[in-house]
Structure 1
């Protein structure tokens, strides 16, 4: 079902309905399909179109983290926290703060793989 939704949404790109919400919706569908790069690209486009879209920042961070790009994910979460706090979106800021802290711990860990102790 997700691929059909993606195809339908992509038909709307560059049309009169194209905007941050459409890009966000596409990113969300790519996220469901576990296609992290495509999801991240669409979420980036969403925040380019609306830099104050805190939900898009949050899912951009998630797509980047799931795609194995923790430093970029952390940067997205930090930007998203700033945006969310500026908009008074307390819940989104709290959620991204939790995700950011997890990534900070991951990035500070001396372990580079599961075999190291």
Structure 2
């Protein structure tokens, strides 16, 4: 892994962009809040974002976690990897909190995000 970079850049994979657009049509204010969460992580950096629980690491070994919509009802599942310039955070799914109540469901989502990360890294090579 090398040196951890505190600088963060947040990207949205196509599926997450689509989920955000759908949400924006239903609730423009909430969609904007989610965009602001991503912006705040970029501004604060990884360490501060993790300390303030804006970033939650769910599986450190697989680089899977979430950006926390602290005020609202959504979980933004993501993976990350480090580049020489910054830690890239890729939001994969935006899921209502009420849809992620069981440990099994959370585990399934983390498995899916880990798989997306694996494919992503293979394509990047």
Q: Which has the larger radius of gyration?
A: 1
TM-score, reference length from structure 1 = 0.32
Name which structure has the greater RCO, CA cutoff 8 Å, separation 6+. 2
- Say which structure is richer in strand: 2
TM-score, reference length from structure 2 = 0.30
